[in-house]
Amino acid sequence: MKKYFITGLLIWIPLTITFMVLAWIINTLDQILLWLPTGSQPRDVLGFNIPGIGVLASLLIVFFTGLVAANVLGQKVVQLWEGILARIPVVKSIYYSVKQVSDTLFSSSGQAFRKALLVQYPRQGSWTIAFLTGKPGGDAAKHLEGDFVSIYVPTTPNPTSGFFLMMPKEDVIELEMSVDEALKYIISMGVVSPPTRKPPQRPALLNE
């Protein structure tokens, strides 16, 4: 009896959480329809709600924004908009900080997480998964003697929060697992282990 109950839980818990997350995303994006004037919203026109229209509308807005911003006129509008934001002290700091992070995460030429690493954190003898993000820069780099790297230590099961550290390169171990495999390992709290890769076999020499 207990075996069957646990088996059922293992099936329903992931499905339930998946649908809950999807429902939250759809409900959140559907709020964009509230921007429309009263009387022109789909609920007023059709007489009932259709879940997911906000998702489609959001995707269309993002697509057409990128389409407009890709041409010369759109780039000038973006530059004008950023110039206005640059004159507002508090908004400037927030906007450009977020923009740098988003450019790094979503740019086709950039790599937010370059390699999966094994580091000792939060104390000596405790090991965790981290990601290489680059090298220290700015004034901080002037105070660091030796070869240092910048790393991001995510929390589990939510890797979007974590800690930024600058560590000596000799104190980090580069892993053979991919970034996607490392993220799955972190999100699953160590339950879903990445596959173990066998070292490449040395080809036999003719004279052996």
Q: How far apart are CA 97 and CA 89, in angstroms?
A: 13
pLDDT in tens, 57-113: 888 888 888 888 778 777 888 888 888 888 888 888 888 777 766 665 555 555 567
- Whichever domain contains 158, its CATH number is 2.30.30
Based on the structure, what is the number of domains in the chain?
Answer: 3
On whether both 84 and 62 belong to a single domain, the answer is no
Q: Is the dihedral of CA 58, 64, 67, 69 positive or negative?
A: negative
Q: Write out the residue range of the structural domain in which residue 165 sits.
A: 115-187
On whether both 44 and 58 belong to a single domain, the answer is yes
Residue 161 counted as domain residue: yes
* Residue 134 scores a pLDDT above 80: yes
On whether both 65 and 43 belong to a single domain, the answer is yes
For the entire predicted model, the pTM comes to 0.54
The terminus-to-terminus CA distance of the chain in angstroms comes to 60
Give every CB contact of residue 35 below 8 A, 6+ residues apart in sequence.
none
